[in-house]
């Protein structure tokens, strides 16, 4: 996920100050990955992770045609579980998220903070304005190549497949980014991430890892399907001529049904897998549903285009660029209607 750091625009000076300060602290703490690997004082678990990251970074350029630059060739231990915190907001009876606009990065449906307290304070203020709000910790962010983004300790906390997915995703944002179209940008990056991880696991002969990854992808697709069904229900509710109290009750009932459907999915199709419990146990509102939809709705269309391009990354990127050059709704329509790579 890209968090706009160091941007200027219509928000308060304090917001930009914390963005600049937070990003500058990270950039100042960078250490070269190669030197850390060679340094005998580097703890062995960290050395192993950085060696894997170095190999993944080379694969990204050599096999996925992603930018060959200095990003993800340095490392920073940030000493916390999230590098930034994203605040999403949406009206009480709408699934259309509020957006904030920044030069260079365009308009995005969130604001990013390097401080959990600052993010919480922002969420409280937005809630006072009558908006649904959702705050989530972010593992990695991209400056779209404007600076040499480092590997972060948050990116190394899971297995190498997770690390590869993050590196491929964030480098995809550097490969192509459309100002003001987060759904397009994120779905494109998820597609590069997904196809890239599959290719990386196959190249390594990691059949067990590939099987586990495909299982996770199927669960993610099931999860997004649940969200899409509830979004459809809520859209009908919000478009109806109901009184606010009736609409609020119908909204709560739809979210209750979502939780019931999740438990049925978890206990039957997923054989008790509980990896999404935390998401469903926490409050669910329009902002949270909107944030989830940003990453998933256009992915199937991008994956289909990737197949139309025969899995050739340069051809795929060129095709996506042609679609990206279109305007507004015609961009999503062209992606959905594509019948060839050209």
pLDDT at 53: 98
Helix axes 182-203, 299-308, angle to 10 degrees: 50
pLDDT at 18: 84
pLDDT in 10s for each residue of the chain, 342 residues: 333 333 333 456 778 788 889 999 999 999 999 999 999 999 999 999 999 999 999 999 999 999 999 999 999 999 999 999 999 999 999 999 999 987 667 788 999 999 999 999 999 999 999 999 999 999 998 888 888 999 999 999 999 999 999 999 999 999 999 988 988 999 999 999 999 999 999 999 999 999 999 999 999 999 999 999 999 999 999 999 999 999 999 999 999 999 999 999 999 999 999 999 999 999 999 999 999 887 778 899 999 999 999 999 999 999 999 999 998 789 999 999 999 998
pLDDT at 28: 95
Backbone angles phi, psi at 91, to 5 degrees: -60, 160
pTM over the 0.85 mark: yes
Q: Give alpha helix (H) positions in the chain.
A: 13-28, 33-38, 44-64, 116-128, 160-175, 182-203, 207-238, 244-267, 277-281, 286-294, 299-308, 313-324, 329-337
Element (H, E) at 178: none
pLDDT at 19: 85
> What's the angle, vertex CA 85, arms to CA 152 and CA 175, rounded to 5?
55
pLDDT at 144: 86
Q: Which residues of 63-94 are buried (b: 16+ CB within 10 A; e: fewer)?
A: ebbbbeeebbbbbbebeeebbbbbbbbbbebb
The answer to whether residues 152 and 141 touch, using CB atoms and an 8 Å cutoff, is no
pLDDT at 5: 37
Q: How long a stretch of residues is the chain? A: 342
Residue closest to 94 by CA, chosen among 336, 290, 334: 290
pLDDT at 265: 98
Question: Please, how many CA atoms are within 13 Å of residue 203, restricted to the half-sphere of its CB?
Answer: 14
Which residue in this structure is represented by tokens 């697709």? 221
pLDDT at 104: 64
């Amino acid at each position: 996920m890209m968090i706009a750091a160091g941007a200027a625009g219509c928000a308060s000076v304090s917001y930009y100050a914390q963005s600049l300060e937070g990003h500058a602290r990270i950039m100042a703490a960078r250490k070269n990955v190669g030197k850390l690997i060679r340094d005998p004082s580097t703890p062995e678990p960290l050395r192993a992770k950085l060696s894997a990251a170095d190999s993944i970074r080379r694969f990204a350029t050599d096999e996925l045609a992603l930018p060959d630059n200095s990003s993800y060739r340095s490392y920073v231990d940030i000493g916390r579980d999230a590098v930034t915190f994203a605040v999403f907001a949406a009206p009480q009876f709408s699934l259309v998220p509020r957006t904030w606009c920044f030069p260079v990065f365009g308009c995005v449906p969130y604001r990013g903070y390097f401080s959990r307290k600052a993010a919480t304070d922002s969420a409280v203020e937005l809630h006072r304005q009558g908006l649904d709000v959702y705050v989530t910790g972010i593992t990695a962010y991209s400056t779209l190549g404007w600076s040499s983004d480092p590997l972060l300790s948050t990116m190394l906390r899971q297995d190498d497949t997770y690390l590869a997915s993050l590196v491929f995703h964030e480098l995809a944002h550097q490969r192509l980014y459309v100002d003001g179209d987060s759904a397009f940008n994120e779905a494109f990056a998820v597609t590069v991430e997904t196809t890239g991880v599959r290719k990386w696991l196959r190249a390594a002969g990691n059949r067990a890892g590939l099987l586990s990854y495909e299982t996770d992808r199927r669960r993610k697709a099931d999860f997004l399907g649940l969200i899409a069904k509830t979004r459809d229900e809520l859209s009908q509710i919000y478009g109806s001529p109901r009184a606010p109290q009736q609409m609020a009750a119908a909204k709560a009932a739809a979210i209750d049904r979502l939780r019931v459907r999740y438990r049925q999915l978890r206990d039957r199709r997923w054989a008790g897998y509980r990896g999404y419990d935390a998401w469903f146990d926490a409050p669910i509102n329009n902002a949270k549903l909107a944030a989830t939809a940003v990453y998933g709705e256009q992915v199937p269309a991008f994956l289909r285009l990737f197949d139309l391009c025969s899995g050739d990354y340069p051809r795929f990127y060129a095709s996506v660029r042609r679609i990206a050059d279109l305007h507004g709704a015609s961009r999503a329509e062209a992606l959905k209607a594509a019948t060839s790579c050209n």
